[in-house]
Amino acid sequence: MNIPQNLYYTESHEWVRIESDGTITIGITDHAQEALGDIVFLELPEAGKQYGAGEACAVVESVKAASDIYAPVAGEIIAANNDVTSAPEKVNSDAYSSWLFKMKPADVSKVEALLSADAYGKNIGA
């Protein structure tokens, strides 16, 4: 199971990377894409929308199920990755390079309160 050490994680299987400009990049974990199976559709949030921490903001559909994707912290969506909406299988190929959306967090320090790679690994039994 691939769980990069340089990322933060949520219990709902999103990964979060803090960028040098203080924004964050979000995707779903390798564990999540594996559990979902072949991803066939992604509905991503629009730039400019505000979300609270833990609020559903996107949807991933696979051959098995549809699942919500949640904002890891409160903030504003600044970009969505259109490359993965047109080719959702990229998330199955490499979940950590296939980001879904970027946010400007209301408080970037809240990201550091998310799960570490080790804590996430324990959470999923890896």
The CATH number covering residue 23 comes to 2.40.50.100
Residue 53: both structure tokens together: 């921490």
Q: What is the pLDDT of residue 126?
A: 81
Tell me if 32 is assigned to some domain. yes
Tell me if 83 is assigned to some domain. yes
What is the per-residue pLDDT across 5-37, written as a single tens digit (0 to 9) for each? 999 999 999 999 999 999 999 999 999 999 999
Asked if residue 1 has pLDDT above 80, the reply is no
Tell me if 3 is assigned to some domain. no
Cα–Cα distance list, 15 to 24, 99 (Å): 10, 9
Mean pLDDT of the 96-123 span: 96
Contact 45, 51 (CB under 8 A): yes
Tell me if 117 is assigned to some domain. no
Tell me if 123 is assigned to some domain. no
Tell me if 80 is assigned to some domain. yes
Quote the CA–CA distance of 22 and 104 in Å, as a whole number: 7
Number of structural domains the chain divides into = 1
By DSSP bridging, strand 75-80 and strand 101-105 are antiparallel
What is the per-residue pLDDT across 59-108, written as a single tens digit (0 to 9) for each? 999 999 999 999 999 999 999 999 999 999 999 999 999 999 999 999 99
Reported as a pLDDT band with limits 50, 70 and 90, residue 52 is very high
Quote the CA–CA distance of 18 and 122 in Å, as a whole number: 22
The pTM of the full predicted model, rounded to 2 decimals, is 0.95
Asked if residue 114 has pLDDT above 80, the reply is yes
DSSP for residue 36: H
Tell me if 63 is assigned to some domain. yes
- Of 109, 53, 110, 60, nearest to 81 by C-alpha is 60
Tell me if 124 is assigned to some domain. no
Quote the CA–CA distance of 65 and 61 in Å, as a whole number: 6
Tokens 């594996």: give the residue.
Answer: 34
Structural domain of 73:
8-108
